[in-house]
Amino acid sequence: MEIKEAIARAKENDQKAFNFLLDTFWDDVYGFQLKRIQNENDAEDITIQTFSRAFDRIETFDDNYKFKTWLITISKNIHIDLLRKEKNSISQVMSNDDKSVYQILDESPTPEDKLITDQHLAKLLRDIKKLKPHYQEIINMRYFQELSYKEICVQLKEPINNVKVKLLRAKKLLAEIIQSK
């Protein structure tokens, strides 16, 4: 399959075309981020988000430009957004005379959060059933069976990068279903 053909087929939601583009450009985007941030886990996370965002917006791709350049631009913007969020939220250092005070965001769930979570589990399961079967399956494997990415790869007989992107897309689609209520 040629890149232009894969892009055209991806615009028609062809899963094989998405997989081809993912396999073809994964190393380019991942390598770009690895050089930029020098952290393998963060580079991988940003790369996954890049492909997810690119596939969600593939119809906006302009064929007059190179696909690789478009992906790198998306990747760079995701990294910049993450840096902004990190700068604005998690840790702010305040200096008071000679004493330094750190404000750290506590993300542990409160008892109220746990109660709400329990009450909403049934609704969540109903929403998951609205997803396509392959998205239901991957969410079930990861979050209910608590399988690792490698274990999911073995069961689905797919490369790990495909599994990660599918999972991210499944979560986005589920979030859209939940928010549309």
Q: Are 7 and 17 in contact (CB under 8 A)?
A: yes
Six-digit token pair at 139? 């969410």
Residue 20: is its pLDDT beyond 60?
Answer: yes
HSE toward the beta carbon, residue 65, CA cutoff 13 A: 10
HSE-up of residue 70 (Cα within 13 Å, Cβ side): 17
What average pLDDT does range 9-23 have in this prediction? 89
Predicted pLDDT of residue 105 = 57
pLDDT exceeds 60 at position 99: no
Taking the C-alpha atoms of residue 53 and residue 76, their distance in angstroms, rounded to an integer, is 12
Task: Read off the pLDDT of residues 102-160 as tens digits, 9 standing for 90 and up.
Answer: 555 556 666 666 666 666 777 888 888 999 898 999 999 988 888 888 999 999 998 88
Q: How far apart are CA 53 and CA 44, in angstroms?
A: 14
Query: What's the confidence (pLDDT) of residue 95?
Result: 41
Percent of the chain residues topping a pLDDT of 70? 81
CB proximity list for 100: less than 8 A, separation 6 or greater = 93, 94
The per-residue pLDDT for 109 is 65
Scanning the structure block, which residue is given the tokens 């991942």? 30
* pLDDT of 55 above 80: yes
